[in-house]
């Protein structure tokens, strides 16, 4: 392609065939630029979504830890209440 461009630069008259080729190359360059820009945009969207997912995972992990701790406290309190109730039943039956 570089050789063809250099050859065209040296011509004082550019044949119609060569003009068509230049137009085709320019159109291809525009399409390639559009594709590259769209790919960059999609990449930015993907990076944003990934970062948001990371934040969500961290938040859910924290929520899970808090729920687990709360559930452990509830279980401890229920076990204590069960033990108290059993003790009261044993005392009432004696």
State the pLDDT at residue 94: 64
Q: What does the pLDDT look like over 30-89, one tens digit per residue?
A: 999 999 999 999 999 999 999 999 999 999 999 999 999 999 999 999 999 999 999 988
State the pLDDT at residue 19: 85
Query: Where are the chain's structural domains?
Result: 2-93
Distance CA 88, CA 84 (A): 6
Tell me which of 24 and 14 has the higher pLDDT: 24
Cα(first)–Cα(last) distance of the chain, in Å?
Answer: 104
């Amino acid at each position: 392609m570089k050789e063809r461009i250099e050859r065209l630069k040296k011509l004082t008259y550019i044949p119609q065939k060569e003009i068509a080729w230049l137009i085709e190359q320019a159109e291809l360059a525009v399409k390639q630029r559009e594709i590259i820009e769209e790919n960059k945009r999609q990449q930015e969207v993907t990076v944003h979504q990934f970062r948001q997912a990371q934040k969500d995972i961290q938040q859910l992990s924290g929520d899970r830890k808090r729920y687990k701790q709360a559930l452990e406290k509830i279980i401890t309190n229920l076990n204590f209440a069960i033990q108290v109730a059993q003790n009261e039943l044993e005392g009432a039956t004696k």
